[in-house]
Amino acid sequence: MLAAELPDEERLIDDPFARLVADDEAITAARADPNLQNVIRLRTRYLDEAIVDFVTTHGSSRPQILLLGAGFDARAYRLDVAATFFEVDFSATLDDKAKMLMGFEPLAQRIAVPVDLAAQRFVEPLVDSGFDPSAPTIVVWEGVSMYLDPDEAESVVAQMAESVPPGSRMVADYAEMSWFKGSDYERATESISRDLRRGGEPLKSGLRDMYATLDRYGFDVLDDEATENLRPRYGLAALPRHYPTRMVTAQRRG
Ligand SMILES: C[S@@+](CC[C@H](N)C(=O)[O-])C[C@H]1O[C@@H](n2cnc3c(N)ncnc32)[C@H](O)[C@@H]1O
Digits of tens for pLDDT over the chain (254 positions)?
466 667 777 788 887 777 776 777 777 777 788 888 899 999 999 999 999 999 999 999 999 999 999 999 999 999 999 999 999 999 999 999 999 999 999 999 999 999 999 899 999 999 999 999 999 999 999 999 888 888 999 999 999 999 999 999 999 999 876 555 666 767 767 777 787 788 877 777 678 888 899 999 999 999 999 999 999 999 999 999 888 889 999 999 99
DSSP state of 210: H
Within 13 A of 57's CA, how many CA atoms are on the CB side?
13
Continuous segment of H or E residues that includes residue 98: helix 91-100
For the Cβ of 177 lying below 6 angstroms from any atom of ligand 1, the answer is: no
Residue 109 Cα to ligand 1 middle (Å)? 21
The pTM (predicted TM-score) of the whole model is 0.91
For the Cβ of 118 lying below 6 angstroms from any atom of ligand 1, the answer is: yes
For the Cβ of 173 lying below 6 angstroms from any atom of ligand 1, the answer is: no
The answer to whether the CB of 88 falls within 8 A of the CB of 70 is yes
Residue 90 Cα to ligand 1 middle (Å)? 8
Other CB atoms closer than 10 Å to residue 161's CB: what's the count? 17
Instruction: Return the amino acid letter for 116.
Output: D
Continuous segment of H or E residues that includes residue 39: helix 34-57
Report the atom number in ligand 1 closest to the C-alpha of 71: 27
Output the residue whose Cα is nearest ligand 1's atom 14: 69
Domains detected in the chain:
2-252 (3.40.50.150)
Residue 189 Cα to ligand 1 middle (Å)? 18
For the Cβ of 74 lying below 6 angstroms from any atom of ligand 1, the answer is: no
Task: Based on DSSP, count helices (H) and strands (E) in the chain, helices before strands.
Answer: 12, 7
Given this model, what pLDDT does residue 229 score?
96
Given this model, what pLDDT does residue 121 score?
96
Given this model, what pLDDT does residue 11 score?
80
For the Cβ of 89 lying below 6 angstroms from any atom of ligand 1, the answer is: yes
For the Cβ of 206 lying below 6 angstroms from any atom of ligand 1, the answer is: no
Residue 19 Cα to ligand 1 middle (Å)? 18
Instruction: Return the amino acid letter for 162.
Output: E
Output the residue whose Cα is nearest ligand 1's atom 13: 69
How many whole angstroms from its chain centre is CA 142? 1
Alpha-carbon gap, residue 195 to 200, rounded angstroms: 9
For the Cβ of 15 lying below 6 angstroms from any atom of ligand 1, the answer is: no
Pocket test for ligand 1, best of 65, 144, 152 (most atoms within 8 A of CB): 144
For the Cβ of 71 lying below 6 angstroms from any atom of ligand 1, the answer is: yes
Bridging pattern class, strands 219-226 and 245-252 = antiparallel
Instruction: Return the amino acid letter for 113.
Output: V
Given this model, what pLDDT does residue 185 score?
65
Given this model, what pLDDT does residue 26 score?
73
Given this model, what pLDDT does residue 197 score?
80
